[in-house]
Amino acid sequence: MLMILSIMDPIAKFFGWITRCFYHIFGNYGLAIIALTVLIRVVMIPLNIKSEKSMLKTQALSSKMAEAQRKYGNDKEAYQQEVMRIQQESGAGGFAGCLLPLLQIFVLWPVYQIVSRPLSRISNVSEENIIAMGKLAGMDEKAVIRDNVTLITKLTKDGELLKKCVQNGYLKMDQLMNFDFFGLDLRLKPSFRPDVIASNKSQYIPLLIIPILVIVTQILSMKLTEWLKPGYKEEKLAKERAKKNPAKSVQEVNPAEQSTKIMMWTFPVLMLITTFTTPAAFGIYWIVASVMAIITQFLVYWLFKKPYALKKKELELKKANAFKKKDKADKLDPDSDENNLKKKKKKKIDIEVE
The full set of domain ranges for the chain reads: 2-123+177-316
Residue closest to 128 by CA, chosen among 155, 165, 156: 165
Which ranges in 209-305 belong to alpha helices (H)?
A: 209-227, 232-244, 255-277, 280-300
User: What is the mean predicted confidence (pLDDT) over 115-135?
Assistant: 93
Residue 6 has pLDDT above 80, yes or no: no
* 39 Cβ contact list (under 8 Å, min separation 6): 18
If one counts every other C-beta atom within 10 angstroms of the C-beta of residue 120, the result is: 21
- Average pLDDT score over the chain: 81
Higher local confidence (pLDDT), 169 or 81: 169
User: What is the mean predicted confidence (pLDDT) over 99-114?
Assistant: 85
What's the one-letter identity of residue 200?
Answer: N
Cα dihedral 70→73→75→76 (10° resolution): 70
User: What is the mean predicted confidence (pLDDT) over 112-128?
Assistant: 93
Look up the pTM and report it.
0.78
Which secondary structure element, helix H or strand E, spans residue 324, and what is its range? helix 306-332
Which secondary structure element, helix H or strand E, spans residue 40, and what is its range? helix 29-60
pLDDT tens digits along 340-352: 555 555 555 545 4
pLDDT tens digits along 294-337: 999 898 888 887 787 777 777 777 777 777 766 666 555 555 55
Phi, psi of 181 (to 5 degrees): -130, 95
Q: What is the pLDDT of residue 67?
A: 75
SS3 state at 75:
coil
Q: How far apart are CA 306 and CA 234, in angstroms?
A: 15
SS3 state at 184:
strand
User: What is the mean predicted confidence (pLDDT) over 110-115?
Assistant: 94
Q: What is the pLDDT of residue 51?
A: 78
∠347-348-349 over CA atoms, to 5°? 90
Phi, psi of 192 (to 5 degrees): -105, 0
Q: How far apart are the first and last CA of the chain?
A: 90
SS3 state at 2:
helix
Residue closest to 207 by CA, chosen among 111, 275, 148: 275
Contact 285, 213 (CB under 8 A): no
Q: How far apart are CA 240 and CA 32, in angstroms?
A: 47
